[in-house]
Structure 1
Amino acid sequence: MQTSSGAKLDFGRVALLLVLLGTGWYFWDSPALWPLKLLVVMMHESGHALATLLTGGAVDRITLAANESGACLSRLPSGMMAQVAVYSAGYVGSALAGAFLLLATFRFRLRRLVLGAACLWLAVMGVLYAGDSFTLAFCLGTALVLALAAKYLPDGGVDMLNLFLAAFTALYVAFDLRSDLLHGAVGSASDATLLAHLTPVPSWAWAALWSFVSLALLGLFARWSLRAAPPENMGYGPQRLGRIR
């Protein structure tokens, strides 16, 4: 299997990704996937928090709820462009997290470091910004689970876990798109509605734009990450070139 540029894709990884996407889709309503949905919501709210801090605002607290909703309460910076950036960051925050998860695991072989970084992120967000005991418990508990996985799972198990998390993130973005556009679930407190109040662009257009961007980013990073490694003996003439990753 090749990309348009001629680079070969690792068929095994592509097939596994498709299987995990199908599994996540089929069992989407299973209670077993509830913690993963909350994890993606935390990625979403972390996107808002990071954008707030980068644009000069201040984050007061982040809350998660058992019904898979979340909120980032911030003191927003002045200026329309800065506020548009903050409101938009949630849409792409989870997509970027999934994309970098794929890239770091399969392109740069940083599988355990990825889980370690996720543990640190959850612990920091929980300690600094958790707005209630449920959010704090979820962040610290999930951080502990990921830390144990990073320490005790074999390399293949860590790869599988990271790939499933990335696949589930992609599914969550897709289901958000379906919810916002097909079922009219852009509610009064949604990011798209806040953006519509701030700009002349309607909420459905903002939801479509950022959902498309999120899915495109995931697809681009997945394509890059799932390329097959070149043969070990690749080289030209008597001098062997370094391995390209």
Structure 2
Amino acid sequence: MDSLAVTSLAGLWDQLSGTQSDPDVWVVIATLAAALAVVVPHPVWRISRNAVTIAHEGGHGLVALLTGRQLTGIRLHSDTSGLTVSRGKPYGPGMILTAAAGYTAPSLLGLGGAALLSSGRITLLLWLATALLLVMLVMIRNAYGVLTVVLAGGAFVLVSWLAGSQVQAAFAYAVVWFLLLGGVRPPFELQAKRMRGGAGDSDADQLSRLTHVPAGLWLFLFHAVSLCSLLGGGRWLLEG
């Protein structure tokens, strides 16, 4: 490896591992308001929920790989539903963790993002998100899924390479607020569906069949993870 390549790699590492200054308080509050504006109103949520579905299915896929299962494909649909297919034992810890990862993934990703932002690592967060979306793109198996992941990844690439530091910070905070807030709503939606007698094959019901633990307790876990992540991550962002 020549000296130019070494210098370039060193510069890249310094950029990724370095810290950036925290944005002004008004930026943090404004991005919180923006995230609320795309999560709370139902007409807007019907569109923005696609991003939560990316995180949901990505969580299933990532945990499947980490637990030794063979990930065969991910599909994202225009009604904001999704499907992640993996091969392996249809029971056991790997299958349980994979099934439990979907509803918890957006909130936990938001919590991790809040931890990075609270330590000033805005660039690292943007690059990690881009890398995860790129890896996920390889596993997408339908056209709509490709479109949504490409659009999401393209936004991160454009901001990372072309925007100034203040815009990058605002974008990063908006994304993390969105994950923290957006992660809270799907468990409540699932609970409402189950109360109406629907969603009989939901993640909570699959987990109930795998563990013989009532689906309601798994739903409680989804609520607990999302709300605790919002409280903890929100505190880090506001105090950052």
TM-score range (shorter-chain normalised) is: 0.7 to 0.9
Q: Which residue of 2 aligns with 1:136?
A: 146
TM-score normalised to the size of structure 2? 0.79
**1:56: which partner in 2?**
68
Hey, what does 2:105 align to over in structure 1?
Answer: 93
Q: Which runs of 5+ in 1 are unaligned?
A: 1-9, 229-245
Q: Could you tell me the TM-score, scaled by structure 1's length? A: 0.77
The amino acid that maps onto 2:229 is: L
| Structure of greater relative contact order (alpha carbons < 8 Å, 6+ residues apart) | 2
1:203 alignment partner in structure 2? 215
Structure 2: give runs of 5+ residues left out of the alignment: 1-23
C-alpha separation between the residues in 1 aligned to 2:176 and 2:214? 30
Match of 2:34 among 20, 43, 49: 20
- The structural deviation recorded for 1:63 is 0.5
Alignment of 1:118-129 (within 5 A): 118-127=129-138, 129=139
SS in structure 2 of the partner of residue 30 of structure 1: helix
| CA contact 1:55–1:77 (8 Å) conserved in 2 | no
Larger Rg: 1
User: Helix, strand or coil for the counterpart of 1:184?
Assistant: helix
* 8 Å contact from structure 2 (residues 180, 229) kept in 1: no
Which structure 2 residues correspond to residues 107-186 of structure 1 after superposition, within 5 A?
A: 107-127=118-138, 129-184=139-194
Pairs aligned (count): 215
**Identical amino acids, percent of aligned pairs:** 24
Q: Is the 8 A contact 1:13 1:226 kept in 2?
A: no
Aligned to 2:43: 29
Q: 1:122 to 1:41 in 2, by over 3 A?
A: same
What SS does the aligned partner of 1:226 have?
helix
Q: 1:133 to 1:187 in 2, by over 3 A?
A: same
Q: State the distance in 1 between where 2:28 and 2:129 align.
A: 24
Superposed displacement of residue 192, structure 1: 0.6
Please tell me whether the aligned partners of residues 52 and 77 of structure 1 are also in contact (alpha carbons under 8 angstroms).
no
Quick one: which amino acid aligns to residue 22 of structure 1?
A: L
RMSD: 2.4
